[in-house]
Amino acid sequence: MSLGERSCYCGEVRESHLNQRLILKGWVRRRRDLGSLVFVDLRDRTGFVQLVFSEDRDAATFLAAKELRPEFVIAVEGVVKLRGEKDANVHLATGAVEVEVAQMDVLCEAATPPFPIEDDALVSEEMRLKYRYLDLRRPFQNQRIVARHRLMQRARKQLSSEGFLEIETPFLGKSTPEGARDFLVPSRLRAGTFYALPQSPQLFKQLCMVAGFDRYFQVVRCFRDEDLRADRQLEFTQIDIEMSFPDEEMVMGVAERLTRALFEEAGLTAPASFARLTWAEAMERYGCDKPDTRFGLELGTVSEVAAKTEFGVFRSALDAQGAVRGLAVPGQANISRKELDALNEVVKPFGGKGVVSLMRRNGALAGQALKHIGEGPAAAMLAAVGAKDGDLGLFVAAPYETACACLSALRLYFRDKLGLVDKDHHALLWVHRFPMFEWSRDDNRWVARHHPFTMPREEHLDMLESDPQKVEAQAYDLVMDGNEIGGGSLRIHSGKIQRKVFRALGFSDEEAQDKFGFLLEAFKYGTPPHGGIAFGLDRLAMLLLGCESIRDVIAFPKTTSGLCLMTQSPSEVEPKQLEELAIEIKKSPPRSHDPKEGN
């Protein structure tokens, strides 16, 4: 058997190969040794097929088969035989046949893996990440990476077919003040200066429009040095899109066709239509700018009724210009005291002091705070959130945004607790008309909610200086099942407006010139109106493939503390490397990443 020869993949062997002599290669999945008959499952990325070794074929090969262990890499030559009705395995694609092995090469022996290479093996994520190459060898994890490949190729095909050009942009770029924390890369040739890895190719794709490419896309890695989450990694992949002369509808159209294509590629049915909500509507109805619209439990505001009560909780919130908001949970009027207490824990992380509950059981009002609120107002509050007999009304009194966040959390809590969504059903939703700015308490100034290159709505341009909080952006997010999967905007293409926005953000003209001078310069030479969108590929793949974590669709992800458990990065570097970069380390790093070593 020569190294390059292979008849087909293991998972592809069928009855059509009957009596053919095949050369197969793969990993030993399992050996079943019956004494003078040995079965071996041979696995590769397509599945596995049963090999049979028997004494009366070839004694040497048979004895070698007895020495096989899980994960040995072998090559075999043998004849495909029908298993017969009694011995066939109906659960396997290859189960009707088996390969009678005449010859075998052990290409590589294997140590016993730290965990079984099986889908149903229970393995901690720590183990999976440390031995990622073994985790990826497991069929289901392997398939996720294959599926991600398909999604990427489909995206490229779809966008190319609409005339978009895939253009690469630099990874070594310029640090920009807005947005996330940059990853810095020290320059050796100009020691003391730094490149920044791109948070996104935002400015380069805009410059592609200035260059006249008209339609650009890129499947591109982005880097943000912020804390990680189940759906956030330090580096992640965007499907980045930009086009010239669009209106919002055109960008949304491109995005919708792409989304439908990706749903199809994943074997899912996209919802018939993409719903649309303004940001203000989303906050009012769901308390969230990326609502899960697959179920009800919509929010209501009861501030007016609450203002008529003497209830201290309501009074103090309303006196501080806050709101009393609530929602109705159908059929939960008989919720236990213990379960109600648990709700307080749900809202705590979002700044809520507590949840006020009212309910109507068999016509009678109930609730701990009922005596403070009074029957009349209580009935009105329940009516206002649509609570009927047998329903539970939950209310939060707090600043408007806090009340929204708390009730949104309660919505999701009951979604999961009561199983309100069908996992096979998906919702796609555009949220648009975002506020252009939000107030940063840390920086004591306005910051761009999307980014500083977003075009404000034309009719709001006059308010940039006078009423920045009222300015709406021509920005839009695509939301799937309560997750933001993409976001974009029409961009500013005039230096004049761009300077006004920089000023609203508190940049002096000098700062703007220093940080974004190249953009303002480019805008002088004929810039087409342009806009675009970027999809978070990892997050979208996660949702389309039904994964719980973004790490499941990334071949080599990092832990939530930004470590690679496989390579032990980040790590210290040689003093010589630091010298070349003219860098001195002030603080000694933690001594170990290895949990087995500790201190």
Nearer to RNA, 311 or 453 (CB): 453
Strand duo 47-54 + 97-108: pairing = parallel
* Minimal distance, residue 549 CB to RNA, in Å: 4
> Degrees (nearest 5) of the Cα angle 481, 485, 487?
125
476 binds RNA (CB under 7 A): no
What distance in Å separates the CA atoms of residue 351 and residue 398, rounded to the nearest whole number?
Answer: 9
Q: DSSP label at 471?
A: P
Choose the stretch contacting RNA; rule: CB under 7 A; options: 16-24, 54-62, 137-145, 381-389: 54-62
Choose the stretch contacting RNA; rule: CB under 7 A; options: 107-115, 150-158, 167-175, 209-217: 107-115
Nearer to RNA, 59 or 189 (CB): 59
Q: For residues 73-102, which are near RNA according to CB under 7 A? A: 83, 86-89, 91-92, 95, 98
Q: What residue type is assigned to position 248 of the chain?
A: E
Q: What is the per-residue binding string for RNA in 533-572, x denoting contact by CB under 7 A?
A: -x-------------xx-x-------xxx-x-x-------
* Minimal distance, residue 427 CB to RNA, in Å: 18
496 binds RNA (CB under 7 A): no
Q: For residues 213-242, which are near RNA according to CB under 7 A? A: 224, 226-232
481 binds RNA (CB under 7 A): no
| Nearby residues of 486 by Cβ (< 8 Å), 6 or more positions away | 239, 255, 259, 477, 478, 533, 534, 535, 536, 540
52 binds RNA (CB under 7 A): yes
Name the 3-class secondary structure at 326. strand
* Minimal distance, residue 262 CB to RNA, in Å: 18
132 binds RNA (CB under 7 A): no
What distance in Å separates the CA atoms of residue 285 and residue 279, rounded to the nearest whole number?
Answer: 10
* Side-chain half-sphere CA neighbours of 238 within 13 A: 27
Among 13, 26, 41, 64, binds RNA (CB under 7 A): 41
Nearer to RNA, 231 or 248 (CB): 231
Q: What is the per-residue binding string for RNA in 261-290, x denoting contact by CB under 7 A?
A: ----------------------------x-
* Minimal distance, residue 83 CB to RNA, in Å: 5
Nearer to RNA, 48 or 164 (CB): 48
Nearer to RNA, 37 or 380 (CB): 37
Nearer to RNA, 73 or 123 (CB): 123
Q: What is the per-residue binding string for RNA in 373-412, x denoting contact by CB under 7 A?
A: --------------------------------x-------
Among 12, 58, 125, 214, binds RNA (CB under 7 A): 125
Torsion of CA 92, 97, 102, 105, to 10 degrees: -20
What distance in Å separates the CA atoms of residue 576 and residue 586, rounded to the nearest whole number?
Answer: 16
Nearer to RNA, 226 or 310 (CB): 226
Q: 345: exposed, middle or buried (C-beta count within 10 Å: 0-12, 13-18, 19+)?
A: exposed
Among 18, 69, 567, 571, binds RNA (CB under 7 A): 69
Chain centroid, CA 362 distance in Å? 44
Nearer to RNA, 15 or 310 (CB): 15
| Nearby residues of 160 by Cβ (< 8 Å), 6 or more positions away | 166
Choose the stretch contacting RNA; rule: CB under 7 A; options: 11-19, 108-116, 134-142, 304-312: 108-116
121 binds RNA (CB under 7 A): yes
* Minimal distance, residue 337 CB to RNA, in Å: 21
> For residue 8, what are the CA distances in angstroms to 47, 77, 81, 150?
12, 12, 16, 21
Choose the stretch contacting RNA; rule: CB under 7 A; options: 114-122, 329-337, 506-514, 578-586: 114-122
Q: 467: exposed, middle or buried (C-beta count within 10 Å: 0-12, 13-18, 19+)?
A: exposed
Cα torsion 446, 447, 453, 459: sign? negative
Tell me how crowded residue 451 is: count the other CB atoms within 10 A of its CB.
Answer: 19
Are the C-beta atoms of 97 and 17 separated by less than 8 Å? yes
Q: What residue type is assigned to position 144 of the chain?
A: R
Nearer to RNA, 150 or 174 (CB): 174
295-330 burial, b if ≥16 CB within 10 A, otherwise e?
bebbbbbbbebbeebebebbeebbeeebbbbbbbbb
β-strand partners of 108 = 73
Choose the stretch contacting RNA; rule: CB under 7 A; options: 112-120, 365-373, 466-474, 574-582: 112-120
Q: Is the peptide bond before 570 cis (omega within 30 degrees of 0)?
A: yes
Among 149, 181, 276, 388, binds RNA (CB under 7 A): 181
What distance in Å separates the CA atoms of residue 341 and residue 233, rounded to the nearest whole number?
Answer: 34
Q: What is the per-residue binding string for RNA in 406-435, x denoting contact by CB under 7 A?
A: ----------------------------x-
* Minimal distance, residue 95 CB to RNA, in Å: 6
Q: For residues 330-359, which are near RNA according to CB under 7 A? A: 349-351
> Degrees (nearest 5) of the Cα angle 473, 247, 220?
80
Among 319, 442, 458, 510, binds RNA (CB under 7 A): 442
Nearer to RNA, 34 or 189 (CB): 34
